[in-house]
Structure 1
Amino acid sequence: MPAPLTLFCLPCAGASAAMYLRWRRQLPSWLQIQPIELPGRGGRLNEAPETTFDALAHRLCDELEMYPPQRYALFGHSMGALLAYRITHCLRMRKRPLPVALLVSACAAPSHQDWKRYADKDSDASLIADLRKQNGTPEEVFENAELLSMTLSLLGADYRICAGFHYRKLPPLPIPIHVFGGRADEIRPSKLEAWQFENDVNYSLDWFDGGHFFLRQQEDAFLAALADRLSGNPVEVSHVHSAALASA
């Protein structure tokens, strides 16, 4: 059995830490899931949210410094992946212990981020269209006016945060980066492949059937791959394709 490891999980835009709670029952006991709640939502609803990407990343870095487990990794989906990346660099600049690995899901590499994608979502209609396209929101949300209004407000705020991300070339990270993508997602394979230039050690890219929320659509296969990457075991070929094949 691998050594105990804490996996801090950052949510995607418009979501809360609750999206990861079910993983605690599905992953092996050596892997402790620790969802990170962002200020202004979920259990931190009474806290003032941050309004810029850098402010949010640095605030989360401050909080992570206060709870340093012996071994940990960072995982993020979509916006959460970008935050995990910036937090890792923040910890490095502060000369704090780094995660054993950075795991990113459904997120273009930092050097290939398109801020216009988020800036264009400035109306409820455009946000709803985006939610529909990503196919990760329960139908009950669209049928409940109050719940939909809350979701759109949170999503719009998160998109404004993402639009404020600015890439700057930094020294490559000295830790593995494991990337996960959906074959039907609109993110081009080349934008996921570019994560390999953000570190100078092990890099992997695993593909799954499904769109932006493949981690729900193919949950069993995805969680098996996640655990394998963190344990150092080889990932089964059945759900992994090379980047070259995925680009074909």
Structure 2
Amino acid sequence: MTQLTLLCLPYSGASAMVYSRWRRKLPEWIKLQPVELPGRGARFGEPLHTDMRRLARQLAEEQLVTLKAPYALFGHSLGALLACEMAHALRSLGSPEPVALFASGTAAPTMRADYDRGFAEPKSDAELIEQLRSLNGTSEEVLANAELMSLTLPVLRADFLLCGRFEPVERAPLKCPVHVLGGKADRASTEQLIGWSRETRGSFSVDMLAGGHFFIHEHEAKVLKVIKDQLDIHHRRHAIVASA
């Protein structure tokens, strides 16, 4: 059975390794490929980016060297915007579109004015730490670790700029299906999540899960089931076309 590559983009302040445990929880025909961003993880020595489209273009060019269809893109929060921009960048570079785009935990590109209010410029270290605390995704032990925070806060500042400076542009929508995941207790409203439907001419769905901003970890099994079920549809369709 043909493998389907799932490119996964991390959320603000995170390394792509947050997705590594998914490898053993997804079926063998899904090849999980976390996409590391410059300035973190194995790419720690590289400069951080604050321009979303320039970063997406760089990542697309890097992936294009080895990427083969079929593939899908998944991103959570900041990663969702990057995944969408990568889909457009890959298309402009001559790659086929993904079989699916999964946008998780954030407002649609065209509905970010209210969602991003207050995040356009970096905050003080204390305010950044309070923002992390409010998202309930970082333990107090980590937040109190000055050495660890000294490494994390510059990344978080750059990521806030990536989102705060991002502006939607007029362009042809994607043709691939877009599947949105949201947390029922997260700050992205239903209207802001449904706004992702403007990004495609293909099919569209929204799945609301229990939990706050980090519902992808709180309810990992349900998130993976949504991804697997949706990709299974596209994967079987691709297999039928390939065998015809």
TM-score, normalised to structure 1, is 0.89
Aligned partners of 1:94, 1:29: CA distance in 2, in Å?
Answer: 29
Give 1:37's aligned residue: 36
Give 2:233's aligned residue: 232
Give 1:84's aligned residue: 83
What SS is found at the alignment partner of 2:118?
helix
RMSD of aligned Cα (Å): 1.5
Aligned partners of 2:64, 2:210: CA distance in 1, in Å?
Answer: 36
Aligned partners of 2:166, 2:121: CA distance in 1, in Å?
Answer: 15
Cα shift readout 1:155-179 (whole Å, capped 9, x = no counterpart): 1111112112111122121100000
Q: Partner amino acid for 1:134?
A: L
Contact 2:69 2:98 in 1 (8 A): no
Gaps of 5+ in 1: 234-248
Cα shift readout 1:70-127 (whole Å, capped 9, x = no counterpart): 3110110100110111111112223322111111100110101134332254211221
Give 1:194's aligned residue: 195
Matches within 5 A, 1:39-54: 39-54=38-53
Give 1:123's aligned residue: 124
Give 2:71's aligned residue: 72
Give 1:139's aligned residue: 140
TM-score, normalised to structure 2, is 0.90
The alignment-based identity, stated in percent, is 46
Aligned partners of 1:12, 1:4: CA distance in 2, in Å?
Answer: 25
Aligned partners of 1:48, 1:121: CA distance in 2, in Å?
Answer: 17
What SS is found at the alignment partner of 1:186?
coil
Contact 2:121 2:164 in 1 (8 A): no
Aligned partners of 1:154, 1:9: CA distance in 2, in Å?
Answer: 18
Q: Partner amino acid for 1:130?
A: Q
C-alpha displacement at 1:54, in angstroms? 2.1
C-alpha displacement at 1:5, in angstroms? 0.8
Aligned partners of 1:97, 1:177: CA distance in 2, in Å?
Answer: 15
Aligned partners of 2:141, 2:88: CA distance in 1, in Å?
Answer: 38
Give 1:240's aligned residue: none
Cα shift readout 1:178-208 (whole Å, capped 9, x = no counterpart): 0000000011110000111111111110010
Aligned partners of 1:42, 1:67: CA distance in 2, in Å?
Answer: 21
Contact 2:17 2:34 in 1 (8 A): yes
Give 2:170's aligned residue: 169
C-alpha displacement at 1:69, in angstroms? 1.9
Give 2:223's aligned residue: 222
Contact 2:120 2:165 in 1 (8 A): no
Quickly say closer, same or farther: Cα 1:232–1:76, change in 2 above 3 A: same
Aligned partners of 2:146, 2:121: CA distance in 1, in Å?
Answer: 23
What SS is found at the alignment partner of 1:180?
strand
- Residue 103 of structure 2 is aligned to residue 104 of structure 1: yes
Q: Partner amino acid for 2:8?
A: C
Aligned partners of 1:3, 1:67: CA distance in 2, in Å?
Answer: 16
Contact 2:15 2:36 in 1 (8 A): yes
Cα shift readout 1:189-234 (whole Å, capped 9, x = no counterpart): 100001111111111100100001001111111111111111129x
Gaps of 5+ in 2: 235-244
